[in-house]
Structure 1
Amino acid sequence: MSIPSATADAMLGMLDAAQHADALTPGQIATLIDPRTVQTPALDLIDAELDRLLATPDGRLGISMPPQEGKTTRVVRDFVIRALERNPDTRVVAGAYNQSLANRNGLMIRRAISSVPQLGLAISRDNGSKHEWELEGHRGGVLSVGRGAGVDGRPADMIVIDDPVSRTEADSELARDDCWDWWTESLSARLAPGAPVVVIMTRWHEDDLIGRLVERDTHAGWRIVNIPAQCEDPATDPLGRQAGEYMISARRNRDGTPRTREQWESRKRTVGSRVWSAMYQGHPSPAEGGLLKRDWWKRYFTPLWTTRDDGSCWAIGFDELLISADLAFKGTTTSDYVAIGVWGRRVNDAYLLDQVREQLDFVGTLHHLVALCAKWPQATLKLVEDKANGPALISMLAKRIVGIVPINPTAGKVQRAEAWAPLAESGHVWLPSDEIAPWVGDYIEELAGFPNAAHDDQVDQTSMALDRMILRPLLDEGREIDATDDYDDYRIGY
C-alpha cells in the first residue's frame, strides 16, 4: 500500500517524537499501520487505560464496549505491539474463545509488525508460525491460544484475552465454567511477577468472565471500564457525554461521516431490548431474568380502553385506576428517569395501561404528570414517592390536581419488589403487547435486569402501584389470590 507523502511525513514525525518519549501510543501505532484509522473518543479512553495498565505492576483491566468499534484491533494488535516496542523481550499470551480466532489475532499482529519496519521490530526467521512467533534477536513474541488450550511451561509477561466466550456459548453454564477454569487453572498460573492482564469482550451474560472476575477475583484489583453506546448517566459516563447521547462511532458511512443518531436508533430497534442492554450498553441480564423473570408477564393484545374525541382514555370494566410516579429530576435534564405509570385493577389482576418514562427536568415532569392525569380521568388516585424531588412536586400540584397521595417506602427496593414478585409469577400482572405499547420491551428488560440494571425507575413505580392495588387489600382482608373470582361482580363502568 502506497502512503501519501503528507501522511508519511506525519508518521516520521510521530516516530521522531516517540524517540524522545516513552513510546508511541496504541492509537499512533494504529495510524502507522493503517493511515485510514478513525480515532474516536472511545479509543482515546482505551489508549489511556492501556497506558495506565502498563504503568501499573500486576495491573488488571477489563474493557467492554459495543461490537465493531475497534476495541479488538486496538487492544490485541496495537497494544501488544506497543508492549513489544517498549520491551522486545515481553512474552505475550493472547487468548480467544477458539484456536481459529486466536490464530487470526496472532497473524494480525505479525503482519502489522512486518508492514511497519520503522517500528524497529522484526519477526524471527526461524520461528514464524501464525499462532506462535518470536521477535528477531529477542525472547519476546506472541503465543496465541484458544480457550482450553494448555500453556504449561510457557511464561507470560503479559496476557491479552479477547472475547473468551462466543455469542452462541454465552448462555451455557458449562462454557462459562470452562472459561473460568481456563483462567484460574491455566492462564493466570503462567503470569510473571508484575505482569499485566487485559480482558476485552462484548458482554452477553452477567456470569461471564468479567462478571466472575469482579465477583470472585476481588483481591486482584480489577479495573473495569464499560463504554456504553448511549450515555445513561452523565455523572458516571466514561466519555463525558450528555444523557442519551450516542458514542461517536468508528464505523463510517460511505461519505466518511460517522454513524448518525437515527442509525443508532435503528440499530437499537433492530436488536431489541435485551441485546441492546447487554451487547451495546454492557449490562447483561440472565436470559430468563433475575428476580423478575421475562416469561412471567401476561400480555393483552387489544386496547382495554376507548379514546374519546378530546384524547382522553376511558378504561373498560376495571375496579379502579391509579397513577404511580417515581420522580428523579434535578432542575435540569437528569441522568435518572422519571417513570409515571397508569394502572388498572380487575379484582386481583393488575394491568399496566400507559406509561411515561423520560429524562425530564422539573417543568417537564409537571407537564407530563398533568397531561397523563388529563388523559386518564378515571385514575383519581396519584401515588408520588415522597422522597428526593417528590415533596417539591406535591407542594406544586396540591391545588391543581386532586388525589395526590405521598408514599413513604420503608423497605428497600429489592424487598419491595420481592413482595409483589409472586403476583407476576402466578399470572396476575398484565402488560400491553408490543404493538399497543412500543415501550414495553424496555420495561420488561429493566425489570429482568433488576436489581443489577443501570436504572430501576420502572421497578419503583410498579412496586408502588402493585402494593397499593393488590398487596395491601389482600393483607387487610386476609384473602388469598383467587384466579376464579368473577370479574363481572366487581367491575365499574366508565
Structure 2
Amino acid sequence: MNKSEQSLLAQVAKRPDLFEDSFYSFAKLMHPRFYLDDREYLIDMCNRLQAFIYGNDKRFLVMTVPPRHGKSLTAQNLTAWLFGLDNRNKVMTGSYNERLSGIFARSVRNMIQTEGVGNNIVYGDIFPDTKVKYGEASASMWSLAGSDEVNYLATSPGATATGLGVNTLIIDDIIKSADEAYNENRLQDLWEWYNNTMMQRLEGDWRVIVIMTRWATGDLAGRVLADYGDKVEHISYSAVQPDGSMLCDAVLDAETFALKTQEMNPDIIEANYNQKPID
C-alpha cells in the first residue's frame, strides 16, 4: 500500500461520510491510481456530475470527453455511488453493444461485491448496507438486498430494456466509429432507440446522463442538445486547450496525441478530441 492509499484508509476510518458527500472522493477511493488530485479535469467532472445528480433545474446532462480520459470508468463509479447513497435508486445504463454493456455491468457489480483483504479499502467500507441481493445470478440485471424491484439493468441498442422503470439513465459512449457517425440511418436508429426505448423507462424524479466522445453534429449528444434546449446542461472537455497545452499530460501528452492522430481525418480529430464536430 502506497502513501496515498494509506492516507485514504485513514480518512475512511475518521470520516466515512466524506465519501458519501463527495463523488470525487468516492471515485478516488475506488480507483486511487487513476483519480489523482493533479488530474484537475477529473475533479471537475466528478463535481459537476454530483451537482447535476443533487439537483438543478436540468433533466439532461451531456458530457463530451476525449477518448481514453475516463468516461466509462467515471460512469461506472457514478452508478455504484448512486446505489450507495440510496438503495432505492434504479439505474439503467446503455452501452455501444452487448459485450460492452456486460463489461460495464460486471464492473459495477464487482465494485459493490468486492470483499476487503488486509487493509484494502472496498465499497463496503463506505456503504456497508448496500449489497447485491443474494441469488441474483445475472450480471446485467439485478436487485439490491432489501429491494422488491430490479435496481439495475445494463443494455444496448437491440437488447432488452422492457419491464423496468428507472430514475437515472446513463448512456455511455454509444458511437465507436466514423462509419457509424456519418451513416444517417445508423444515427437515426440510435435516436429512435434512445427515444422509443430508453426514455420510456424513466419515472419519478428522473435524470438522463449522456457521456460520450463527439463524432458528428447529428450524433446522440448533438441531438439531445438540439432537441431539449434549456433542459440540458452541457459540459465539454477538449484534449487540446486554447493555448495549445493538453487537458491532462498525465493522461494524454502532446507527443502521444500527435502520433495517435497523424493519420486521422482532421474533422474526426476535432470532433473526437476537441468536441467540435464540423461535418
- Report the TM-score range of the alignment, normalised by the length of the smaller protein: 0.7 to 0.9
Residue 4 of structure 1, CA deviation: 5.0
Distance in 1 of aligned mates of 2:249 and 2:3: 28
Alignment of 1:13-162 (within 5 A): 13-14=11-12, 16-19=14-17, 23-39=20-36, 40-56=39-55, 59-75=59-75, 77-115=76-114, 116=122, 117-118=124-125, 119-120=127-128, 121-138=130-147, 139=149, 141-162=151-172
Partner SS for 2:278:
coil
Residue 130 of structure 1, CA deviation: 1.2
Distance 1:249 1:277, change over 3 A: same
Partner SS for 2:15:
helix
Alignment of 1:272-421 (within 5 A): 272-286=265-279
Residue 206 of structure 1, CA deviation: 1.1
Greater Cα shift, 103-112 or 138-147: 138-147
Contact 1:69–1:250 (CA under 8 A) maintained in structure 2 = no
AA of the residue aligned to 2:248: I
Q: Deviations over 1:10-67 (max 9, x none)?
A: 2341464342x58153332233223322431111111111111112266311111111
Residue 275 of structure 1, CA deviation: 2.2
Higher relative contact order (CA 8 A, sep 6+): 2
Distance in 1 of aligned mates of 2:49 and 2:211: 11
Aligned counterpart, 1:195: 206
Residue 212 of structure 1, CA deviation: 0.8
Distance 1:73 1:22, change over 3 A: closer
In angstroms, what is the RMSD of aligned CA positions?
2.2
Partner SS for 2:155:
strand
Contact 1:65–1:71 (CA under 8 A) maintained in structure 2 = yes
Contact 1:54–1:196 (CA under 8 A) maintained in structure 2 = yes
Greater Cα shift, 269-278 or 86-95: 269-278
AA of the residue aligned to 1:28: S
Distance 1:42 1:133, change over 3 A: same
Aligned counterpart, 2:222: 211
Does residue 262 in structure 1 map to residue 259 in structure 2?
no
Distance 1:148 1:250, change over 3 A: farther
Larger relative helix fraction: 2
Distance in 2 of aligned mates of 1:25 and 1:193: 24
Structure index of larger Rg = 1
Contact 2:238–2:273 (CA under 8 A) maintained in structure 1 = yes
Distance 1:22 1:110, change over 3 A: closer
Q: Deviations over 1:82-115 (max 9, x none)?
A: 2111111111000012111111100011111122
Corresponding residue pairs, total: 264
Aligned counterpart, 1:426: none
AA of the residue aligned to 2:244: G
Contact 2:23–2:81 (CA under 8 A) maintained in structure 1 = yes
Distance 1:277 1:93, change over 3 A: same
Distance 1:140 1:53, change over 3 A: farther
Residue 280 of structure 1, CA deviation: 0.3
Distance in 1 of aligned mates of 2:104 and 2:62: 18
Aligned counterpart, 2:241: 231
Greater Cα shift, 44-53 or 111-120: 111-120
Residue 141 of structure 1, CA deviation: 2.9
Contact 2:136–2:142 (CA under 8 A) maintained in structure 1 = yes
Partner SS for 1:157:
strand
Distance in 1 of aligned mates of 2:28 and 2:45: 15
Distance 1:278 1:91, change over 3 A: same
Partner SS for 1:193:
strand
AA of the residue aligned to 1:70: G
Partner SS for 2:136:
strand
Distance 1:200 1:178, change over 3 A: same
Residue 205 of structure 1, CA deviation: 1.3
Distance in 2 of aligned mates of 1:16 and 1:175: 51
Partner SS for 1:127:
coil
Contact 2:62–2:225 (CA under 8 A) maintained in structure 1 = no
TM-score (norm 1): 0.50
Distance in 2 of aligned mates of 1:103 and 1:188: 21
Alignment of 1:170-181 (within 5 A): 170-181=181-192
Contact 1:92–1:140 (CA under 8 A) maintained in structure 2 = no
AA of the residue aligned to 2:28: T
Partner SS for 1:7:
helix
AA of the residue aligned to 2:157: R
Unpaired runs of 5+ residues, structure 2, are 115-121
Q: Deviations over 1:308-328 (max 9, x none)?
A: xxxxxxxxxxxxxxxxxxxxx
Contact 1:107–1:130 (CA under 8 A) maintained in structure 2 = yes
Contact 2:71–2:172 (CA under 8 A) maintained in structure 1 = no
Distance in 2 of aligned mates of 1:128 and 1:24: 31
Distance 1:194 1:204, change over 3 A: same
AA of the residue aligned to 2:96: Y
Distance in 2 of aligned mates of 1:191 and 1:16: 38
Larger relative strand fraction: 1
Contact 2:19–2:26 (CA under 8 A) maintained in structure 1 = no
Distance in 2 of aligned mates of 1:203 and 1:249: 21
Residue 195 of structure 1, CA deviation: 1.1
Distance 1:74 1:22, change over 3 A: closer
Aligned counterpart, 1:310: none
Q: Deviations over 1:214-249 (max 9, x none)?
A: 112236x111111001123xxxxxxxxxx2221114
Residue 260 of structure 1, CA deviation: 3.5
